[in-house]
Amino acid sequence: MLKYILKRLGLSVLILIGVSLIVYILIRCMPVSFVESKIAAMNQGGVQVPKETVDAMYEMYGLADSSFLGILKGYGSWLNALLHFDLGQSFVYGDSVLNVIVEHMGVSFAIAFIAIIFEYLIAIPLGVTAATHQYSVRDYVVTIIVMVGISLPSFFFARVLQNVFALKLGWFPSAGMENTAAGYKGIFRLLDQLKHIALPLIAMVILSIGGTMRYMRTNMLEVLNSDYIRTARAKGLKESKVIYKHAFRNTMIPIVTMMAGILPTLFSGAMITEQIFDLPGIGNVALKATVSADIPFIMGYNMFLAILSVVGVLLSDLMYMVVDPRVKLA
């Protein structure tokens, strides 16, 4: 078992190196350049920046050589720094990349964690009822509602929520993480924060329920039509026991694969929603960094997600072994 995990982790290193190389080359090929926009901003002031300064700036940020070899060299130095546990300095935030990630991760994690709990608490029962009452009014109503949710674009739906509940009705604050002016302490501060993240949470939950519910419904239907469910009914078990004991355990097997996707989403932050509600989450920070071509930060952020994805897949494989006795890992 331990040997298996170690083997998988060893393979993960290779995957991560590949991911980082591809991501680095792609970023370097982006049509925006941090230095360019900085010089343009300086030029706006009316002062013509001398050519020597421009060259010096390119040199300083390590972006002077844009040939393929130059990019590879740049990747080499990034990798070398990484081996010394240094992710580099963020261009935009002027702090070390690791610090920026750690600082903003908490907010995103808290929101995503609550959202996922709600998502599963709502989507799984909905999926089960839709499956057990297949083709009934209940099934159609649930399916239509979640399909509406799945089809809404997040930038649009978040804006609608903000407009209706924050600006028109004034039930919730429209943006930000907390009301610093009020100076709440302890439990009141927490409640204030919850009030601030309520709307983004609602947006995220409604948008994500659809997929999980459809997945649950399909799996449940497949399991309910299997022979062992007929056996369970033939034993004289009540329908609720048939569904929640015999069918549910089997439905959970494919659901566990979704674990692989949960881990990165927990930490990655919701870029668009966070940006609309101006939350200091990592998604918001990463969006700004991407727009301004903050190479060290984008690299650090993407590597962070890649590591989480790799660990997520490993965890879901391990979970498979827990829920399905037929799976043995070696």
Partner 1 sequence: MNFKKKSDDSAKKSEKHYLSGKEIRAIAKENNKVMRRLEKYKRRKAPEEEFLGEMKDPADILEVEDLHSYFFTDQGVVKAVNGVTFSVPQGSTVGIVGESGCGKSVTSMSIMRLLQGPQGQIYSGSIRFKSYDFKRDEKGKPIPIWDDDENGEPVYEEIKDRHGKVKLDKNGKPLTERRQKRDRYGTKLYEMEEKVFDIAKMPTKEMYRLRGRQIAMIFQEPMTSLNPVFTIGNQLDEVTLLHVPGATKEEAKRRSIEMLNLVGIAMPERVYNSYPHELSGGMRQRVMIAMALEGNPRLIIADEPTTALDVTIQAQILDLLRGLKDSINGSILLITHDLGVIAEMADYVVVMYAGRIIEQGTASEIFHHPMHPYTIGLQKSKPTMDSESDSLFNIPGNVPNPIDMPDYCYFRERCSGCKEMCYGEYPKMVQVSPTHWVACHLYGGENPKENADEN
* 316 token code pair: 């879901």
* 11 token code pair: 């393979």
- In 3D, which of 303, 307, 296, 293 has the Cα closest to residue 88? 296
Our measurement of the distance from residue 15's CA atom to the centroid of its chain's CA atoms, rounded to an integer in Å, reads 20
Least CB distance from residue 2 to partner 1, whole Å? Answer: 24
Least CB distance from residue 220 to partner 1, whole Å? Answer: 15
Pairwise CA distance, residues 253 & 274, whole Å: 32
Q: 187 to each of 53, 183, 184, 192, how far by Cα in Å?
A: 52, 12, 8, 9
Least CB distance from residue 330 to partner 1, whole Å? Answer: 16
- In 3D, which of 318, 253, 295 has the Cα closest to residue 5? 318
**Residue closer to partner 1, measured from CB, 7 or 133:** 133
Question: How long, in residues, is the chain?
Answer: 330
Residues in touch with partner 1 (CB under 8 A): 135, 225-228, 230-239, 246, 249-250, 253, 323-326
**Residue closer to partner 1, measured from CB, 7 or 249:** 249
- Contact at 8 Å (CB) between 19 and 306? yes
Least CB distance from residue 1 to partner 1, whole Å? Answer: 19
Pairwise CA distance, residues 282 & 266, whole Å: 11
Count other Cβ atoms within 10 Å, centred on residue 130. 25
**Residue closer to partner 1, measured from CB, 128 or 232:** 232
Least CB distance from residue 139 to partner 1, whole Å? Answer: 12
Q: 278 to each of 35, 160, 273, how far by Cα in Å?
A: 26, 15, 8
**Residue closer to partner 1, measured from CB, 178 or 324:** 324
Least CB distance from residue 250 to partner 1, whole Å? Answer: 6
Pairwise CA distance, residues 166 & 202, whole Å: 13
Least CB distance from residue 299 to partner 1, whole Å? Answer: 43
**Residue closer to partner 1, measured from CB, 48 or 240:** 240
**Residue closer to partner 1, measured from CB, 115 or 247:** 247
**Residue closer to partner 1, measured from CB, 167 or 327:** 327
Strand residue runs (E) in 80-176 = none
